[in-house]
């Protein structure tokens, strides 16, 4: 399969759904709006305390709910009690999202794992095993993508990266990941790089199709389009059209 001709590079991808005031990010409401508008959806998956895989970006609850604490300390029963900020939407499980989307639009699934690789990846793959829609996976963690390379090589894999802040990672990890030095481990089919850091020689050297994230305006889109093959967007509706060669 020529991945550059796949859904990953045919339409802009809605970052955590088509979210806004009435539809929080990574909510079923935001996913429904993206489906209605015809956009593929980028989502984030992470585990909670009882092993349930949920769709939620942050490791802490603070930004997106009225609670403090860490998402990983929640259980499935807790999900019923928590509402996403300024809405009646809950934190959905990955299973619920798959059932809701039901193949109506493709999913780009970010594996949120900065710890031991294995359980989250296995649980995610198990849930995907019976899913009939189109999807791909991506992660900042090259070992997470290595898991999928070994256990489900047919699933398109993306290596996420950016010019990391010092507060995010130590020097060695920043040096290696920024420069995509671990691609021999993850063997990505595509690169997913911060739009603000494009162009750069590390991405160019891979010669792989590239997604630019997270684009938040037409101006940002126009600036990065010459250096990528598609965008992951939020906070505006990109004009869909053929990219010039």
Active site residues: 15, 57
Distance (Å, rounded) from C-alpha 12 to C-alpha 147?
27
Q: Find residue 54's DSSP bridge partners.
A: 46, 93
Contact 233, 221 (CB under 8 A): yes
- CA distances to 46, 64, 107, 222, 241 from 9, rounded to whole Å, are 25, 30, 13, 16, 12
In Å, how far from its chain's centre is CA 7?
A: 15
Distance (Å, rounded) from C-alpha 190 to C-alpha 65?
33
Q: What is the DSSP string of 81-136?
A: T---TTSS----BHHHHHHHHTTSS-EEEEE--SS-SSHHHHHHHHHHTT--S-EE
């Amino acid at each position: 399969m020529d991945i550059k001709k796949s859904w990953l590079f045919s339409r802009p991808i809605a970052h955590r759904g088509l979210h806004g005031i009435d539809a929080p990010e990574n909510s079923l409401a935001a996913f429904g709006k993206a489906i209605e508008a015809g956009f593929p959806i980028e989502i984030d998956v992470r585990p909670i305390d009882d092993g349930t895989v949920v769709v939620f970006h942050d490791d802490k609850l603070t930004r997106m709910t009225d609670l403090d604490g860490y998402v990983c300390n929640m259980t499935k029963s807790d999900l019923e009690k928590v509402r996403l900020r300024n809405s009646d939407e809950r934190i959905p499980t990955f299973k619920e999202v798959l059932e809701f989307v039901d193949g109506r639009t493709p999913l780009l699934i970010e594996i949120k794992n900065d710890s031991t690789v294995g359980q989250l990846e296995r649980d995610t793959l198990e849930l995907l095993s019976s899913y009939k829609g189109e999807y791909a996976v991506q992660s900042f963690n090259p070992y997470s993508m290595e898991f999928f390379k070994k256990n489900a090589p047919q699933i398109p894999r993306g290596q996420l990266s950016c010019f990391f802040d010092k507060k995010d990672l130590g020097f060695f990890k920043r040096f290696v990941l920024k420069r995509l030095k671990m691609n021999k481990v993850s063997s990505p089919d595509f690169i997913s790089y911060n739009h603000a850091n494009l162009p750069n020689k590390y991405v160019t050297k891979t010669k792989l199709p590239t997604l630019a994230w997270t684009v938040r305006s037409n101006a940002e889109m126009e600036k990065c389009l010459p250096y990528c093959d598609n965008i992951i967007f939020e906070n505006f509706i990109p004009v869909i059209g053929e990219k010039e060669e």
